[in-house]
């Protein structure tokens, strides 16, 4: 493999699965128990705000009882030791990458532990419930919503992500089904721009065919092994 300098890593729910956080589309996955349209769209929030707020209050509380796993720790080690550019683009809205020690993390779908004020647009760190319509810490208006990118909304910091993909020598996808765009298309952007591509996943994802290499297995085994290889 040519000299690697710049790495972009995309993570999905599969990297947090072994920490006990449900994925979306696996057996027993989140979207098996809830219809996306009922909880994860702006229309759902307009139609039944209490249902949506209760759903995200439950998820926000649940992630705070979970711990990062060996895959998160391995990416944090890579973040600490890698001398080149590294960006961990995560679709996940938990904070396990950060609690695992990673720093160069970009949450393209938002974060459970932020609240977004629909009155003043401020985002504030938030660990408690929103169902009781607490006042925005910045403007005082009781107009907070989950800081989650819902279906039909634009993911965050896409320009920054595409810049990183343009510069990438290596693109690695970890624990994602490749079911949701634009993230599912990043592998093609990267390979069209000359990056090597690697998938680490429990099973073949929808985009497997686009990767130079796919390694199948649990993230807590595959990710530490891959980081160990890379850091020699
Ligand atoms: N190790 C590695 N991969 C795993 C593990 C594991 N222990 N457990 C599950 N996986 C894999 C599954 O095989 C699957 O391919 O993780 C992937 C999880 O896929 P999804 O549940 O679809 O989650 P994700 O790809 O992150 O979903 C993308 O969809 O609903 C939206 O916004 C939501 O960010 C989410 C996006």
In tens, the pLDDT along 166-208 reads: 999 999 999 999 999 999 999 999 999 999 999 999 999 999 9
215 closest CA partner among 225, 102, 230: 225
36 closest CA partner among 161, 144, 179: 179
Listed in sequence order, the residues at least 6 apart from 216 whose beta carbon sits closer than 8 Å to its beta carbon are 201, 202, 203, 204
186 lines ligand 1 (CB under 6 A): no
Question: Each residue of 220-230: pLDDT tens digit?
Answer: 999 999 999 99
Residue of 149, 202, 204, 219 to mutate, ligand 1, most atoms within 8 A of C-beta: 202
219 lines ligand 1 (CB under 6 A): yes
Distance of CA 108 to the CA centre of its chain: 7
CA of 29 to the centre of ligand 1 (A): 9
Q: How confident is the model at residue 3 (pLDDT cuts 50, 70, 90)?
A: confident
CA distance 76 to 71: 9
pLDDT at 31 over 80: no
Q: Is 109 a catalytic residue?
A: yes
86 closest CA partner among 197, 198, 10: 10
Q: What atom of ligand 1 comes closest to residue 26's alpha carbon?
A: 21
* pTM metric for this prediction: 0.97
Residue length of the chain = 232
CB 91 within 8 A of CB 11: yes
Question: Each residue of 123-146: pLDDT tens digit?
Answer: 999 999 999 999 999 999 999 999
CA of 16 to the centre of ligand 1 (A): 9
CA of 193 to the centre of ligand 1 (A): 25
Q: Are strands 213-216 and 144-148 parallel, antiparallel or unpaired?
A: unpaired
Residue of 9, 10, 21, 26 to mutate, ligand 1, most atoms within 8 A of C-beta: 26
In this prediction, residue 2 carries a pLDDT of 65
Take atom 9 of ligand 1 and give the residue whose Cα is closest: 14
The pLDDT mean for the chain works out to: 96
Question: Each residue of 68-126: pLDDT tens digit?
Answer: 999 999 999 999 999 999 999 999 999 999 999 999 999 999 999 999 999 999 999 99
In this prediction, residue 33 carries a pLDDT of 78
CA distance 160 to 174: 20
In this prediction, residue 32 carries a pLDDT of 73
CA distance 42 to 216: 35
**φ and ψ at residue 204, rounded to 5 degrees:** -60, 130
- Pairwise pLDDT comparison (32 vs 213), residue with the higher score: 213
Residue range 39-46: mean pLDDT, rounded: 95
User: What percent of the chain lies above the pLDDT cut of 90?
Assistant: 92
CA distance 175 to 202: 7
Take atom 7 of ligand 1 and give the residue whose Cα is closest: 218
């Amino acid at each position: 493999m040519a000299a690697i300098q710049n790495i972009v890593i995309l993570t999905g729910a599969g990297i947090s699965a072994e920490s006990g956080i449900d994925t979306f589309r696996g057996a027993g996955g989140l979207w098996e128990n809830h219809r996306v349209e009922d909880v994860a769209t702006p229309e759902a929030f307009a139609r039944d705000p209490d249902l949506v707020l209760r759903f995200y209050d439950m998820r926000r509380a649940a992630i705070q009882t979970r711990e990062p796993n060996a895959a998160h720790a391995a990416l944090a080690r890579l973040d600490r030791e890698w001398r080149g550019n590294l960006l961990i683009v995560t679709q996940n809205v938990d904070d396990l990458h950060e609690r695992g020690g990673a720093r160069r993390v970009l949450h393209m779908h938002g974060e459970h532990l932020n609240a977004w004020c629909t009155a003043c647009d401020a985002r504030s760190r938030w660990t408690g419930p929103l169902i009781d319509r607490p006042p925005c810490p910045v403007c005082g208006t009781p107009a907070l919503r989950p800081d989650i990118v819902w279906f039909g909304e634009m993911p965050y910091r896409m320009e920054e992500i595409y810049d990183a993909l343009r510069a990438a020598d290596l693109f690695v996808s970890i624990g994602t089904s490749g079911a949701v765009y634009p993230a599912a298309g990043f592998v093609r952007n990267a390979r069209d721009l000359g990056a090597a591509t690697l998938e680490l996943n429990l099973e073949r994802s929808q985009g497997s065919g686009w990767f130079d290499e796919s390694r199948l297995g649990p993230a807590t085994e595959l990710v530490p092994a891959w980081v160990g290889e890379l850091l020699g």
